[in-house]
Amino acid sequence: MKVDLGVQQAVFPMPVLMVAAYDENEKVNVMNVAWGQICGMDKIYLCISKGKKTLSNILKSKAFTVSLADVEHMDVADFYGISSGNTMDDKFERTGYTAVKSDKVHAPIIEEFPLAIECEFLEELDTGNIHGVVGKIVNVKAEESVLDENGKVDVLKLNAIMFDNLRSGYYTVGEKAGQAFDIGKKWL
């Protein structure tokens, strides 16, 4: 029997996305975004509240990168989420992480995270109920260590973390449960 729980953020899993952009002085800013998702074959949507330093940088630079946080770098990913570039001038530098300039867009790639999505800014959405940015994916870079024998990203090797809104925890992907676009064919 189901029990009423009231209004909750009951969608799981949420990706743990590291969103990076340059400010007007080419300084790196990174934030942790849990509310983001692919929204087309070559587009990504990120819910970012007004007033965030990274949002301001994206709107100015017209580009950003999105990295998937992994278990190995979970502590820094969490730090990027609980600290603010508006109040902490050395937020990125404090971690000792390394950024390199993307060769595809005007945005930094954080070297320590194993997968980076390079994006051009397309539009800002502000409906009154939702606020964020849409980016066009122009390239994805991944460490060879997270690729399978066919050159595809292996989610188990990537060891990406997911955020649980219900209990504020980070989790990893477990074993494969079924083959998408196949397991349901018995009802076709």
Per-residue pLDDT of the chain (188 residues; tens, 9 = 90+): 998 878 877 777 889 999 999 999 999 999 999 899 999 999 999 999 999 999 999 999 999 999 999 999 999 999 999 999 999 999 999 999 999 999 999 999 999 999 999 999 999 999 999 999 999 999 999 999 999 999 999 999 999 999 988 888 999 988 888 889 999 999 89
Residue 11 has a pLDDT of 77
The rounded distance, in Å, linking the Cα atoms of 98 and 105 is: 17
pLDDT at 8: 79
* Tokens found for residue 21: 């952009």
What pTM was estimated for this model as a whole?
0.93
User: Is-contact 91 80, C-beta < 8 A?
Assistant: yes
pLDDT at 23: 95
What is the C-alpha separation between 142 and 163, in angstroms, rounded? 21
pLDDT of residue 61: 97
Number of neighbours of residue 162 by Cβ within 10 angstroms? 17
CB 74 within 8 A of CB 161: yes
- Phi/psi class of residue 158: alpha, beta or left (left: φ > 0; alpha: ψ in -120 to 50)? alpha
Does an H or E element contain 92, and which?
Answer: helix 91-95
Q: What is the pLDDT of residues 148-157, one digit of tens each?
A: 999 999 999 9
Total Cβ atoms within 10 A of residue 83: 18
Exposed/middle/buried for residue 106 (C-beta within 10 Å: 0-12, 13-18, 19+): middle
List the domains of the chain with CATH numbers. 14-187 (2.30.110.10)
pLDDT for 151 equals 96
Tell me if residue 176 falls in helix, strand or coil: coil
